[in-house]
């Protein structure tokens, strides 16, 4: 994703300095005009605003810290934007280190994957220093179709959790609709079509529904990750005393699906926890 995002910046005329753990990955960008640095620190020294796109919290910390890390190259007037998806605690730790150097910090996890990254259609859920959000706004607009400034560090991660919680509950309710339709003799394809024409039409239903009707769950977003997000959202609700009975019921079904060996299937496989019954006595 970092490759696609950088290309969009270069195309828009930005001067870009790049670094990657694997130098070979920088070559195509160098051919398109990017300068290549030998360390994260050097990127931060040469650039006004440094962007990081990393796979997980451990990588995000590794690139930020240490003698050759981004923080070592920061100074007053510079800013650090981490577009990785990390937990609130990691964001807060990096933010503190960045500010100790007099620089500013923005957590900016993205919604959207490779395709939207290439098309400049990402969504940025940012939080941290609003001045930095304003300063890098034009660059975010080059890489994405929408950007939000949500508050203090951690707010971006929380927004992703809330959205994924609603998504997880919706998927489970949709599975209940498909299962009930089938049991009463309706075609699931008709249900998908009817839903697609009305007030509750959602891209996810159109995308996943037909495969769910075939009980096929090629993994896009693994069920175990969806269940982890349900767990974390429920924990967030517990912290702030917000009861979440729908999310709790959905979570039970995702755990049930995990218990049936579906953790690595697509999260739509919660269908199996909703629908999988043997042929026994049915009608009362």
Token code pair at residue 82? 């981490």
Can 160 be counted among the known catalytic residues? yes
Rounded least distance, CB 195 to a copy of itself, Å: 6
User: Which residue's entry shows tokens 């620190």?
Assistant: 41
Stretch that binds a copy of itself, among 28-36, 37-45, 55-63, 197-205 (CB under 8 A): 197-205
Report the alpha-carbon distance of residue 202 to residue 196 in Å, rounded.
Answer: 7
DSSP 225-276: HHHHHHHHHHHHHHHTT---HHHHHHHHHHHHHHHTT-TTSBGGGHHHHHH-
Stretch that binds a copy of itself, among 41-49, 50-58, 132-140, 150-158 (CB under 8 A): 150-158
Q: Is 170 exposed, middle or buried (0-12, 13-18, 19+ CB in 10 A)?
A: middle
User: Hey, is 149 helix, strand or coil?
Assistant: strand
CA 136, 54, 116, 146 dihedral sign is negative
Q: Which of 31, 67, 214, 277 binds a copy of itself (CB under 8 A)?
A: 277
Q: Which of 23, 180, 210, 215 binds a copy of itself (CB under 8 A)?
A: 180
Stretch that binds a copy of itself, among 19-27, 46-54, 131-139, 245-253 (CB under 8 A): 245-253
Q: Which of 8, 60, 263, 271 binds a copy of itself (CB under 8 A)?
A: 263
Q: Which of 111, 136, 210, 213 binds a copy of itself (CB under 8 A)?
A: 111
| Residue 39 within binding range of a copy of itself, rule CB under 8 A | no
Report the alpha-carbon distance of residue 248 to residue 103 in Å, rounded.
Answer: 41
Q: Is 248 exposed, middle or buried (0-12, 13-18, 19+ CB in 10 A)?
A: middle
| Residue 233 within binding range of a copy of itself, rule CB under 8 A | yes
| Residue 134 within binding range of a copy of itself, rule CB under 8 A | no
Catalytic residue among 78, 101, 147, 160: 160
Stretch that binds a copy of itself, among 14-22, 41-49, 131-139, 252-260 (CB under 8 A): 252-260
Binding-site size, a copy of itself (CB under 8 A): 90
| Residue 150 within binding range of a copy of itself, rule CB under 8 A | yes
């Amino acid at each position: 994703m970092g490759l696609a995002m950088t290309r969009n910046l270069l195309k828009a005329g930005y001067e870009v300095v790049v670094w990657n753990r694997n130098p070979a990955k920088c070559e195509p960008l160098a051919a398109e005009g990017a300068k290549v640095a030998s360390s994260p620190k050097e990127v931060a020294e040469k650039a006004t605003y440094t962007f990081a796109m990393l796979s997980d919290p451990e990588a995000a910390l590794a690139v930020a810290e240490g003698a050759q890390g981004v923080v070592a190259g920061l100074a007053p007037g510079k800013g650090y934007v981490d577009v990785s998806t990390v937990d609130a605690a990691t964001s807060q730790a990096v933010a503190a280190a960045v500010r100790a150097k007099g620089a500013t910090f923005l957590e900016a996890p993205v919604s959207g994957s490779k395709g939207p990254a290439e098309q400049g259609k990402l969504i940025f859920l940012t939080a941290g220093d609003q001045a930095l959000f304003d300063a890098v706004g034009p660059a975010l607009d080059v890489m994405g179709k929408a950007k939000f400034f949500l508050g203090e560090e951690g707010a971006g991660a929380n927004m992703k959790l809330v959205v994924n919680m609603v998504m997880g509950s919706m998927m489970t309710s949709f599975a209940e609709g498909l299962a009930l339709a089938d049991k009463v003799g309706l075609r699931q394809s008709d249900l998908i079509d009817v839903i697609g024409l009305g007030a509750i039409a959602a891209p996810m239903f159109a995308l996943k529904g037909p495969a769910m009707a075939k009980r096929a769950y090629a993994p896009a977003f693994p069920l175990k990750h969806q269940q982890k997000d349900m767990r974390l959202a429920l924990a967030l609700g517990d912290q702030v005393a917000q009861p979440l009975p729908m999310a709790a019921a959905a979570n039970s079904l995702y755990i049930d699906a995990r218990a049936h060996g579906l953790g690595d299937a697509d999260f739509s496989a919660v269908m199996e926890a909703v629908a999988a019954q043997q042929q026994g006595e049915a009608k009362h």
